[in-house]
Structure 1
Amino acid sequence: MRARHPSLRRRLLAFLALPMLVLLLLNAVITYRIALAYSNHLHDRNLLDDTQSFARMLQTMPLSGELSPQARFLLEYDPDGHGYFNVDSLHHGILVSNADFSAVAKSRDCVDSTPLLYSAHLNQQKVRLATLCIQSATDPGDRLAVTVGETFDDRRQRAQEILMITIPMMALLMLCVGALVWFGVNHGLRILRPLTRQLAERKRDLAPISNPDVPREILPLIETIDGLFGRLAEMIALQERFVADAAHQLRTPLAGISLHVDRALSATDGKTRTEALEHVRRLNQRTARVSGQLLALTRAQASPAVVETLDLTALVPEWVAMRVPEAIRAGVDLGYQRPDETLRVPGYAPVLQEALDNLIDNALHYAGRGATVTVGIAASGNQVELYVEDDGPGVPEAAMARLGERFYRVAGTQENGTGLGLAIAHEAVEHFRGTIHYQTSVPHGLKVSILLPRLTP
């Protein structure tokens, strides 16, 4: 079964749905708090009106320890809870009451006609109380503290009713916002369709696809794709260059091989046949060398997969020792100059070894028999110098600037070569921010130096 790919649309909607749900719950809590505050405000105002009405009623009727049934019904009526009242005389104490207000009533705090509003616990429930001071109707020197209270049940009920009215509206609003988000996400993702169509219509075009119309949010993805296209174009160009170089360099030896094979086949004597086969052998060796050099150049032009810290003082002696037998056969004295300290550089060992091998190859082939070739390492400021120096005939000053060009060979050179050795070294070293320099040795010869950044431990 095909793997199910994650959906960007679903992920965006899920990311937005959870905050919207949290906002809905937060909005419900805030709405309830506001509704409860508004309900408390209205009920407090009504409670003050009831207290003032009760006080006016007491000023028109004498108190005998009991209220009229009409007054008691008016004060105690509470459809969702219970109403409380208390009348406290300064001279005679509590005159009428339907609960024990001794612990909660603020009769002593009442000094003028300004009513007091406060909350307290009465009969094991929280109540809201209002206290108002008036002059006694029967005793001008006495003062009455009139307290009226009610429970919070009706207040909460009113707040809940307001909340239940607003919740459907908030839910409807959230649904509308969700629909707009769905539409917005779908519409926003349509911007990817032209890019997808543009990529689908391409065949071998590896030009960048970024343009001013690309949204800022997907620009990093487009830049990554452009970078991939750039690297792919480089690899294709590298492949095409290899094919062109191979066709250019192998055409002549292959034609020569074909010619001498025909000559050997048509020869009637053994000497002619032997000469033709000897030519075929030399051309075959040249073809193999050219093919190897072309492959090495292609590998050097491709970026190495790994960049490591290389200890040249440990690696270079091993690389030089591997070339000693070849130097003995060529009649060249190959030596190594060791530095006084450990020197480390960034690089990739196989690539850097191939660069050094090509420099040693050139020295062994062109310095001549009896020459001395020295491979050495030295510190040079913030760089490390890896050099190959010989005391051969050297290179003319006019040709020094062209060293390192592909297929370039110094005029008058008798040795067979491909002109790729120094080019391979250049390509390999450039990957590690290195450079190659050439200078004439004293009294004669050539010194080729690879300069690489120095790494400290």
Structure 2
Amino acid sequence: MMSLRKLLVLSLSSVILLTSMVSAAFSYRQARIEAKELFDAKLAHSTRILMGLMDDALAGDGKGAQPTPVLINIWKASGIGGDDRPPSASGNAYETRLAFQVWDSRQRLRLKSDSGPSAALANLRPGFDTREIDGERWRSFTLQSRHGLWFQAGELNANRTGVATKIAVVTLAPLLLQWPLVMVLVWLIVTRACRTLERVTCEVERRAADALTPITIAGTPPEIAGAVSAVNHLMLRLDQALTHERRFTADAAHELRTPLAALKVHADNLQTAVSRQHQRESVDFVQQGIDRLGRLIEQLLAMSHLDPAASPAVARPVDLGALTSQVLAELALTSLGRRVDIAYQPPASTATIQGDEVLLGLLIRNLIDNALRYTPRGGHVQIGVQCLQSGCELRIEDSGPGIEAAARERVFERFHRELGSQQEGSGLGLAIVRQVAELHGAEISLDQSPQWGGLRVSVRFVKR
């Protein structure tokens, strides 16, 4: 693909060349027209001078027989005029071949110059005229005096055209000569304008793979500053994502180390067990450790796919009540095994929200699982979904120990577990719940259950 510098230079050069050619053609045409207008004005002026000098002298000599015309000797210009000779005491290179005639009212020639033809330069009527005489074209001006005499001044058309063309070319020459200079200036200007892009490119190329600090915007033109700013925002998001991944990897490694160490201890105990009772206890510990490790890995995988800055990948209408019933059915055996009484209050009407069904199921499952995990045997867990004017609400209450008000914000942090808790867990459940809620624009709140005294979790989904 063509570089930006070449594209700009070629585009600007083409436009300038095209406009210069159009301007040159127009200027050439106008220069020729103006030159001819000046020659016409000179003809008219010469005719008036001749009339002023000779009108009275010739007025009384036209009576009687055919008068002898007065012959005037005039210098005859050679060539077409407009050569490169400089002005001198003898004349100017732009002088042209002029001829003069005077006719009386009876069309008798009274005066002529030896530089012109014997035939009339034009018909005897006032104004300009162009006529071919003896193979030469003459441009003439005719004027009638107060004595009835017709004064004519003529100019050889070839001289006029040559001089007019010369004037037009001289006028046009600077416009044509400046075009190469303009092209050089365009190249220099475009090259200077591209230096900012080159600076940004070099700055990015010199960076290390993990150097995601913003690119310097100072001194950058507004047209490029927008792109640089967008790249800076991208690098900021990448830095945040990498920081998130590094933190997650470090936390995951730390959390996996403990259950793996415990499994190794129980496996060692199983090998050195001296009785079947000790073997059964070690096997039970190993199975429990595997279950906890499997749950931790499952939650780690779920957490790794959640990004608070993103939106749900698939936003579709989801029936919150039906989804809650489905998750409850999946966790029924868990509640029976722990002998916890679960009560579900479905919504009065269909509670439809926009979101990702898989992520919403993950949110509901973690909330119910946490409630079952921290509720003692014989305890109660109540789940309800209701429709509000502003959206839908999912509410889960339990009769467990609850969470102190001062610690309710900390429980949403990853791998956080309250001191003194009798239940083992990864500390990721509520962190996953918060991230899924944020992805769906939902509000989540923790308080004390007024009915059971344990924890009440409310998740409010706003209508979109």
The answer (yes or no) to whether the contact 2:310–2:439 under 8 Å persists in 1 is yes
Q: Is the 8 A contact 1:327 1:334 kept in 2?
A: no
User: Which consecutive residues of structure 1, in runs of 5 or more, have no partner in the other structure?
Assistant: 107-117, 137-142
1:343 to 1:93, Cα distance in 2 relative to 1, 3 A: farther
User: Is structure 2 residue 227 aligned with structure 1 residue 221?
Assistant: yes
Quote the Cα distance in structure 2 between the aligned partners of 1:187 and 1:144: 72
Secondary structure of the corresponding residue to residue 438 of structure 1? strand
Partner of 1:110: none
- Which range moved further: 176-185 or 11-20? 176-185
Q: CA deviation at 1:300?
A: 1.7
Please tell me whether residue 161 in structure 1 is matched to residue 166 in structure 2: yes
Residue 92 of structure 2 corresponds to which residue in structure 1?
A: none
2:187 corresponds in structure 1 to 182
Q: Quick one: structure 1 residues 327 and 50, their matched pair in 2 at CA, closer, same or farther if it must change by over 3 Å?
A: same
Aligned to 1:253: 259
Are positions 1:60 and 2:57 aligned together? yes
User: Aligned letter for 1:373?
Assistant: Q
Instruction: Tell me the secondary structure at the aligned position of residue 331 of structure 2.
Output: helix
Contact 1:363–1:373, Cα closer than 8 Å, also in 2: no
2:408 alignment partner, SS class: helix
Q: Residues 329 and 351 from structure 1, CA distance in 2 versus in 1: closer, same or farther, beyond 3 angstroms? A: closer
Is the CA contact 2:266–2:282 (under 8 Å) kept in the aligned structure 1? Answer: yes
Q: Give, as a single letter, the amino acid of the residue that structure 2 aligns with 1:169.
A: P
Q: Report the CA distance between 1:257 and its aligned residue.
A: 0.7
Q: Is the Cα contact below 8 Å between 1:131 and 1:148 reproduced in 2?
A: yes
The alpha-carbon distance between structure 1 residues 348 and 160, as it changes in their structure 2 partners (threshold 3 A), is farther
SS in 2 for 1:393: coil
How many residues in Structure 1 have an aligned counterpart in Structure 2?
A: 423
CA-to-partner distance for each residue in 1:202-251, whole Å, 9 max, x for gaps?
A: 32222112242434332222222222221221222122111221122122
Counterpart CA distance in 1 for 2:420 and 2:20 is 89
Q: Which residue of 2 aligns with 1:392?
A: 399
Q: Structure 1 counterpart of 2:257, which letter?
A: R
Cα distance change, pair 83–416 in 1 and its aligned pair in 2 (3 A)? same
Question: Structure 1 residues 336 and 159 mapped into 2: Cα distance closer, same or farther (>3 Å)?
Answer: farther
* Paired position in structure 2 for 1:330: 335
Deviation digits for residues 25-55 of structure 1, max 9, x if unmatched? 1331342244235413421231113322553
| Equivalent of 1:364 in 367, 372, 389 | 372
Could you tell me which residue of structure 2 aligns to residue 276 of structure 1? 282
CA–CA distance in structure 1, aligned partners of residues 214 and 399 of structure 2? 50
CA contact (8 A) 1:85 1:98 kept: no
Aligned partner of 1:376 among 375, 385, 399: 385
1:17 Cα shift? 0.8
CA distance, structure 2, for counterparts of residue 232 and residue 380 of structure 1:
39
| Aligned with residue 431 of structure 2, among 388, 408, 423 | 423
Structure 2, unpaired ranges of 5+: 82-95, 110-118
Alpha-carbon separation, structure 1, partners of 2:66 and 2:236 = 102
Name the SS for the 1:301 alignment partner.
coil
Q: Please, which moves more after superposition, 274-283 or 425-434?
A: 425-434
| Greater shift in the superposed pair: 419-428 or 60-69 | 60-69
On the 8 A contact 1:359/1:388 being kept in 2, the answer is no
Residue aligning to 2:242? 236
RMSD: 4.0
Distance of 2:301 and 2:380 partners within structure 1: 30
SS at match of 2:299: helix
Partner SS for 1:449: strand
CA 1:395–1:342 in structure 2 vs 1: closer, same or farther (change >3 Å)?
closer
Q: Distance in 2 between matches of 1:449 and 1:434?
A: 10
Matches of 1:148 and 1:14 in 2, distance apart? 53
| Alignment partner, residue 8 of structure 2 | 12
Kept after mapping to 2: 8 A contact 1:86/1:94: no
Cα distance in 2 for partners of 1:152, 1:450 equals: 99
Paired residue type of 1:7: S
**Partners in 1 of 2:36 and 2:21 — Cα distance?**
22
TM-superposition CA deviations, 1:150-189 (whole Å, max 9, x none): 6977555434323333544333311112112223333443
